[in-house]
Structure 1
Amino acid sequence: MREITLFVEDHAHYEFLKALIQRLAREHSQVITLDWRNVRRGHSAVIQELKQFLRDLARGRGGYPDLVVVATDANCRGIAQRVKEIREVTDATAARVICAVPDPHVERWLLVDSAAFKAVLGRGCAAPDQKCERARYKRLLIEAIRQAGITPNLGGIEFAADIVAAMDLGQASRLDPSLQRFLDEMNGVFREWRS
């Protein structure tokens, strides 16, 4: 069994990545456990808790997981900048680390596959553009769910697992380079573990 430790900035990342990583693990016939370290308070809390976690590992407080996934939205800074910020913290560690950086926000990943959205909610959604505006994709997700005749109780994140299960990951990743980047890295890890 492989242990994956995840640092995520909010509940949306938690729900989306939990469903996606579990799906990929099944597709690669891998048995995993997910250890969550942060699911609130944003990017700066992720970085602070990641630093503390890595310090604790370096001091022998706990064993190294098989993989650490760090998830934070690009938030108009771009993938390269966010990855750089994470790598500044993780480069000196022996832990294997990959980054999940939705550009600009994780809610866009839920909207990128209209067919999956329709399979889950009964009505497709418009393919989202890629603009940088705070709360834009949260609003678009809520609007798309309401147009399907459903009132989202948790801003739409409650449908993440079902949408991820229905997604054509190849198509979705072609529409969103940040999703493609994460899928390529995660699939690479699972392929390596299978060898």
Structure 2
Amino acid sequence: MGTTRTAIIGIGLILLIAFGKTALVSSFFLDELLRTGPVLLLLYLTFTILTGFAVFALYHFFGNLASQPQGVNARSGPRHEPGKENLVEMHARNWGLSKAETEVAILVVKGFSNAEIAKMRGSVLSTVKTQLGSIYQKSGLENRYQLIAFITDEVCDAAKAERNELQSKHRNALLRVLASPNPEENAANVPAGPNAATLSLKAGR
């Protein structure tokens, strides 16, 4: 219903804009001898087609921007920061999800309801439900709650692994500085970390 109403309004606007352009051109750029019915009709059809193409292109351009989940194309934060979008996309390739199914899965993990997802993607609710059913079948998960829990656990594990890796690198850097002949001079080369205060105390001894 909403899609049909939008289409009717869009067609009405196209016809109205084409009529306005035809009136302007015929009033200011055409001689009175050329203001005949066939010429005006040809102008009107030409402006209708051109306006229709322009509106169609703009509609799809802004529609695609609005339907893209936040974080799929533009991500903030550190380069290697684990995120739900990254993990969903990674598992989507393993599960064999389509692009649309991947975007729906991301929105589910972000906590949006089926109705909200349908509105954001400009689709009907039944399409979203069908896509979710396909996602669950391909992934082996039973429902949205298992999908959310699965990705959340992956995020926590990835964050923990990254934190352990950073701590290991910092600890190795501290050991190299403390083992050097001049620890006080080399202390400044160690990146800030949880053991920076300990390094300063040991280096000063």
Q: TM-score range by the shorter chain?
A: under 0.3
Larger Rg over CA atoms: 2
Give the structure with the higher percent strand.
1
Larger RCO (CA under 8 A, 6+ residues apart): 1
| TM-score using structure 2 length | 0.24
